[in-house]
Amino acid sequence: MSAFPDTPVSLLARIAAARTGASEASWTRFFELYQPVIVKFAAFSGAGREAEDVAQDVFVKLVEVFRRSAYDPAHGTFRAYLATMIRHEVVNRWHRAAVRAADRHVSIDNDEHPVELSAPSETAAILDARWRLARRQAAIEHVLTKTALSEKSKAIYRAYVLEERPIEEVAAKFGVTNNTVSQTKTRIARMIAAHEELLGE
């Protein structure tokens, strides 16, 4: 099961309360946290430019789930549950869209041309890999744009890790030692890992 933490029931309660308009702030925060990863996952799953629309649909579905108190803590951590549900919802949404698109071109009576639905047939491993990639990218983007790490630290991380420049070159460019480059990478990697943890398994 997930190594990620449980989310307390109080968060669920607040979100469920928001269904009645009582806790808008909680919803806002929830969306802010999860939207980037959902959009990325949807994009990786073939939603393309509709990824943001998919994210909105997912949130609508989530509100409904929370309203019905569909989450049972006995079945695992909330974050794992949430991540699984997001994945399912993105794929189902993609599936429905594919069916609609196919209906426009293929008669439902035409058994000779069944609609190809690649997404649902994909293995769980591929979905998991996409999810992890989306989560990692969302976390990197968050840490490099939304946190108060110094611009220099962020630039060192970009050059050394994302652009894969040699450590000596990065150190020379920013006027620091190789050790500082290495330490900066470690520091930021820890922050990224912590943010990934927030987003669930």
Q: Please give the radius of gyration of the chain, using alpha carbons only, rounded to the nearest integer.
A: 21
3-state secondary structure (DSSP) of residue 6? coil
Residue 197 sits in the site that holds other proteins (CB under 8 A): yes
> Using CB under 8 A as the criterion, what x/- string covers residues 17-56 for binding other proteins?
------xxxx--x--xx-----------------------
Output the smallest distance, CB 47 to other proteins, in A: 25
Distance CA 201, CA 116 (A): 29
Distance CA 178, CA 19 (A): 52
Output the smallest distance, CB 153 to other proteins, in A: 8
Q: Residue 77: phi, psi to the nearest 5?
A: -70, 155
Q: For every residue of 88-133, which 3-state class applies, written as one string? A: HHHHHHHHHHHHHHHHHHCCCCCCCCCCCCHHHHCCHHHHHHHHHH
Q: In the window 76-135, what residues touch other proteins (CB under 8 A)?
A: none
Residue 176 sits in the site that holds other proteins (CB under 8 A): no
Residue 166 sits in the site that holds other proteins (CB under 8 A): no
Residue 155 sits in the site that holds other proteins (CB under 8 A): no
Site residues (vs other proteins, CB under 8 A): 5-8, 10-11, 23-26, 29, 32-33, 142-143, 145-151, 179-180, 183, 187-188, 190-191, 194-195, 197-198
